[in-house]
């Protein structure tokens, strides 16, 4: 069942066309990646999906409702965790609930009920500077989920982490997503990350940016680290690498 649909999205800045004719779908409970090099227009598309930017043409629908240009419908997590340094972790995480009108005490209680599932037990009264980068990202992901448990846009949320932390967080993320079934659209320029996490991958290339190919990843989830060295994974990676290379040469 389609949860989010973007149809024929085009955006220009002045005389420069940034993205053109983009159509994508996100089904309920899916993790779908937008994979492409920096500058291809992935973040521009996210700004359109989130309602921060109105496209020159095209429409965005969620559950068959036209949400083009409307903010507050989807949750949107940027590369940085954006946790407020003067608030405790529980108050940071509960912030979307407070904004929606819940009383602070009730919001804290609701947020706290997810801390164990998100691997955050014991951090409720700590401050962001007291947590590792990986733990801060977990808190930011929980805050994103509490803003909207329907659809989340994640813009390279693991890109700033070291290799070991990123690997551990990938495995944790796959398990959590299996539990909460959050429909997620995920920006990355990391081919390995896209293959590991995704149900489907849209490859964005060109100037203006457009969808070159859609790839379905059929490997069973959650996927362990052994998947990264499997023949199946290597076939996907080789195909994607060749697709990106061919489009760069055109």
Please report, for residues 10, 51, 187, 211, 222, the alpha-carbon distance to residue 54 in angstroms, rounded to integers and kept in the order given.
10, 7, 19, 19, 36
- Asked if residue 105 has pLDDT above 80, the reply is yes
CB-based contacts of 89, cutoff 8 Å, min separation 6: 83, 120, 123, 124, 125, 126, 127, 128, 131, 139
Greater model confidence, 39 or 123: 123
Give which of 31, 68, 40 is closest to 189, Cα–Cα: 40
Give which of 196, 192, 202 is closest to 173, Cα–Cα: 196
Out of 9-13, 156-160, 216-220, 225-229, which region has the weakest mean confidence (pLDDT)?
156-160
> Region 192-213: what's the mean pLDDT?
93
At 59, list the tokens.
Answer: 């429409």
List of domains in the chain:
2-74+150-249 (3.40.50.300), 81-147 (no CATH)
CB-based contacts of 156, cutoff 8 Å, min separation 6: 79, 187, 188, 189
pTM of the model: 0.89
210: left (phi over 0), alpha (psi -120 to 50) or beta: beta
For 159-197, how does the pLDDT look when each residue is reduced to its tens digit (9 = 90+)? 877 787 888 888 888 888 888 888 999 999 889 999 999
Share of the chain above pLDDT 90, in %: 59
């Amino acid at each position: 069942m389609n949860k989010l649909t973007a149809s024929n999205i085009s955006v220009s800045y002045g005389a420069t066309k940034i993205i053109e004719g983009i159509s994508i779908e996100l089904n309920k409970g899916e993790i779908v990646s937008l994979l492409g090099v920096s500058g291809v227009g992935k973040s521009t598309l996210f700004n359109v999906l989130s309602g921060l930017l109105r496209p020159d043409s095209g429409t965005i629908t969620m559950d068959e409702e036209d949400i083009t240009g409307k903010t507050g419908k989807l949750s949107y997590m940027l590369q940085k965790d954006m946790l407020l340094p003067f608030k405790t972790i529980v108050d940071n995480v509960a912030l979307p609930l407070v904004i929606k009108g819940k009383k602070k005490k009730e919001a804290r209680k609701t947020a706290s009920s997810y801390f164990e599932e998100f691997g955050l037990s014991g951090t409720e009264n700590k401050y962001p500077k007291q947590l590792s980068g990986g733990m801060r990202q977990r808190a930011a992901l929980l805050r994103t989920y509490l803003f909207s448990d329907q659809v989340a846009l994640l813009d390279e949320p693991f890109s700033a982490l070291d290799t070991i932390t990123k690997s551990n967080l990938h495995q944790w993320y796959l398990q959590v997503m299996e539990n909460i079934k959050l429909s997620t659209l995920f920006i990355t320029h990391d081919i390995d990350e896209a293959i590991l996490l995704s149900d489907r991958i849209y490859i964005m290339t060109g100037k203006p940016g457009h969808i070159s190919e859609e790839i379905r990843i059929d490997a069973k989830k959650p996927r362990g680290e052994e998947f990264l060295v499997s023949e199946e994974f290597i076939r996907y990676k080789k195909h994607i690498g060749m697709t990106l290379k061919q489009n760069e040469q055109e």
